[in-house]
Amino acid sequence: MSTISPSTSNAPVVLVTGAAKRLGREIALTLAKHGWRVAVHYRSSEQDAINTIADLAINTPATGKNTSKEVDFEKFQCDLSDESAVRALLPQVIAHFGRVDAVVNSAAIFEHDAAATFSYSAMHKHLATNTGAAILLSQALHDHVSFRQKAGESDVQGAVVNLLDQKLWNQNPDFFSYTLSKAALEAANTMLAIELAPLVRVIGVAPGLTLTSHMISDEKFQELHKISPLGRSSTAQDVADAVRFALENRSITGTTLLVDGGQHLMRFARDFSLMDSPK
């Protein structure tokens, strides 16, 4: 992919982890349509990342001073469980685009365990990828924004959005280590919002049942999606729109937007993927 001097575009830059597929891809597409240059992170899905970049370039009109679509988007490989690789990720994005204005931590490991099958290895695996990487990237963004401020950008402010889960407000014992990692990230939201202010805002976005998977049939997914006070859970577009709102509203930090149709107000004994279809 071609590159140009960073000074030729004033469009903001966002790093979206897990942007090659599923929800991260939808977030990347939505932000790009609204003028963001996007760093597409992936771990092993390189072809999906290439496809996402192609769709970003096709569907996004050139904006501002940047009239060449091909320089708006680039892919970056990183195993988020590898601390050294995570510490190197944001500098790579900065080297390519010249700046980073926001990070969306969307990538996550979601593997099933329960209290009876819990292990240190499962916990460490989820915490490293789902929690630790988000914290390191938040701190790296703060360092970068601080450097830019000292260099004369007096009004510069960064933003981090961490993707959480309505499970935290409606807990059940399924996906034990995953839920622990998201609970730790929700607590980190508050601590990071305090620590990184005023240069970086930190916001959580917590979706409900949003996308189907191999664990749910399409029919069951449609039935479960309707179980909420509003009669529908979140769509990928709903979540992407909430992420954009959080990134662009300069007064929001240290809180979480629940985008789930009100599912967090109900009681579910099991995770959606393990529930019987409603009768």
The predicted-structure confidence for 2-19, as pLDDT tens digits, reads as follows 233 333 478 999 999 999
Cα 43 from chain centroid (whole Å): 14
Helix boundaries (H) for the chain: 22-33, 46-59, 83-97, 120-126, 133-150, 176-196, 218-225, 236-248
Task: Give the pLDDT of residue 131.
Answer: 98
Weakest-pLDDT range from 72-86, 125-139, 221-235, 237-251: 221-235
Domain ranges of the chain: 6-274
The predicted-structure confidence for 16-46, as pLDDT tens digits, reads as follows 999 999 999 999 999 999 999 999 999 999 9
Taking residues 177-194, report their average pLDDT: 98
What b/e string do you get for 203-216 counting C-beta neighbours within 10 Å, with b at 16 or more? bbbbbbbbbbeeeb
The predicted-structure confidence for 89-100, as pLDDT tens digits, reads as follows 999 999 999 999
pLDDT beyond 80 at 213:
no
**43 contacts: CB under 8 Å, gap ≥ 6:** 18, 77, 78, 79, 80, 107
Task: Give the pLDDT of residue 61.
Answer: 62
Taking residues 150-156, report their average pLDDT: 95
More confident residue, 63 or 14: 14
Distance between CA 188 and CA 139 in Å, rounded? 12
User: Which residues sit opposite 202 in a β-bridge?
Assistant: 160
Architecture in CATH of 6-274: 3-Layer(aba) Sandwich (3.40)
Nearest to 211 by CA among 200, 222, 201: 222
The predicted-structure confidence for 115-127, as pLDDT tens digits, reads as follows 999 999 999 999 9
What number of helices (H) and strands (E) belong to the chain? 8, 7
Question: How is the chain split among helix, strand and coil, in percent rounded to 5?
Answer: 50, 15, 40
pLDDT beyond 90 at 174:
yes
Number of C-alpha atoms within 13 angstroms, CB side, residue 133? 35
